[in-house]
Amino acid sequence: MKSIVTFAMAAGLLAAACPASAANLVTNGDFEAGNTGFTSDYAYSPGGGYAPGVYTVDTSPSAWQSYFAPIGDHTTGSGNMMMINGAESISQYVWSSGAIAVSAGADYFFEAFVASLYPQSPPSLTFMYALDGAAPAVLATLDHTLELGVWEGMSTTFNTGSATSVQLFLRNAQGAYSGNDFALDDVYLGTTSIVNPGPIGAVPEPSTWALMLLGFGAIGAVARRRQRTSFSYA
């Protein structure tokens, strides 16, 4: 009983040492509300995805286009995602947010999860932002590097400076006609990453390190005690 209590205390200390995830500031970033909360230069085509430059929001890429990888969404495995047949033009916005209120002088993560739906020409996304209504600026262009149908988190950061609002954009940097098909899910803006959890440049406070070491020590003590008990047959 004492071991269980000690383990629970250690787990509690570890939980206290780990920061909670921040809320997503992007409206309908997981697409569970359907085709709403964002805009796109691509044409909405719920009936089929065989033409370049079209998208839909649904649960099954292979039902939308029979050649696409049959994957589940990133959020739950059974929910909605944005499915895209990429255009040859790389100047179009695949996804754009409305204006989002942010804190001045703060660091933010702009992230999304992407999966390639066809073996040829995997996706490459350009992450862009516009502060306080300024012209959009490029943050980063990131390539999908994993296997077909595997979700990959893409992450970039920016500081708001004196701005108190931001608009986000995703542009398709892959201009191939053949292939260039992908899914998008969990588009995110916040001060804590969901791709690599932890605030930007986070270094634990000395008190946090102490709590973590105490927690690990307690867990180790429980493990050693259980090991001695397990091998005692007297």
pLDDT tens digit string along 35-87? 999 999 999 999 999 999 999 999 999 999 999 999 999 999 999 999 999 99
User: 11: domain range?
Assistant: 1-19+204-234
Domain count, the chain: 2
Q: Among the listed ranges 17-26, 135-144, 153-162, which one has the minimum average pLDDT value? A: 17-26
Residue 43: the pLDDT is 98
Tell me the pTM.
0.77
Q: Tell whether 9 and 27 lie within a shared domain.
A: no
Mean pLDDT of 128-133: 98
Give the confidence band of 197 by pLDDT, cuts at 50, 70, 90: confident
**117 and 209 fall within a common domain:** no
Residues 30 and 109 in one domain: yes
**Whole-number pLDDT of residue 68:** 97
- Model confidence at 88, pLDDT cuts 50, 70, 90, reads very high
The domain spanning residue 160 has which CATH number? 2.60.120.260
Residues 11 and 45 in one domain: no
CA distance 229 to 234: 10
Share of the chain above pLDDT 90, in %: 74
The widest CA-to-CA distance across the chain, in whole angstroms, is 77
Instruction: Evaluate whether 120 touches 176 at the Cβ level (below 8 Å).
Output: yes
- Residues 179, 215, single domain; the answer is no
Q: Kindly state whether residues 1 and 114 are assigned to the same domain.
A: no
Same domain, 15 and 30: no
* Chain segment 11-33, per-residue pLDDT in tens: 333 333 334 445 999 999 999 99
pLDDT of residue 7: 33
